[in-house]
Amino acid sequence: MLRIDETSKTLVAPPAGGLVTEVSPDRDELLTLVCSSWEAFAGELGQPSLRFVVQGHAPGLEVLAFDAEAGRAVVVGVATEIADAQLTQALSGAASVAAMDAASLAAVSELLEAAVPGDSPQIVLLASSFDARTLATVDWLTRRHGLEITCFVLSVFRFGNERLLSIRREYPARDTAAPDPAAQVQQMLAGAVPNGNGVDTNGHSSPPPAV
């Protein structure tokens, strides 16, 4: 989870405790926050190798990034709710990138000189919610047609006068053994967050299981 700095419009690490739910930002604010704090945001996504390339380069390309580890372009779509229209827009943006030759990619950014012309970009979709029909389409495109699409739900909480951004992967499904950010947020709302060692941040140890 990241705190939204209202003055600088950037994302920084949050304090714990005293959280309440908040209305999600509109698309324009989400886009501004993501682009202005890319390094922190990419780390929170669990994809620190993502490098910001450009915003709004072409229709359908809200944000273009580059995965330095995979050597692939990444099309990032941002919306308050992802439905068919937003998915179609992201696919259109990915198609336009895949159609670029080496010279066209390099003209956008030197980062893209390492991208393979004609390679299908990864797609990352960010939204406050996803409808079931769109997730079913994403699953079909991924499993049957080999596209690499990841969906993240963005939620906002308030801590005093500050807002915090919570990021949860919606697709592909999370590893059930991994910590659940949504559950951690609920524990923070209750005033106690496990630190991973059986001790909550309120200072009390978790009770042993009943025998």
Which pLDDT tens digit goes with each residue over 29-71?
A: 889 999 999 999 999 999 999 999 999 877 778 899 999 999 9
Cα dihedral sign, 133-134-139-144:
positive
pLDDT at 102 over 80: yes
Which pLDDT tens digit goes with each residue over 189-205?
A: 555 444 444 434 444 43
Contacts of residue 153, Cβ cutoff 8 Å, sequence gap at least 6: 127, 128, 129, 130, 167, 168, 169, 170
Q: Bigger pLDDT: 206 or 210? A: 210
Query: What is the predicted pLDDT for the residue at 157?
Result: 87
Token readout for 102 is 């080496």
Q: What is the mean pLDDT of the chain?
A: 83
* Confidence grade of residue 23 (pLDDT, cut at 50, 70, 90): confident
- For the segment 3-31, the average pLDDT, to the nearest whole number, is 80
Among the listed residues 167, 42, 43, the one whose alpha carbon sits nearest the alpha carbon of residue 53: 42
User: How many CB atoms neighbour CB 188 within 10 A?
Assistant: 22
Token readout for 19 is 């959280």
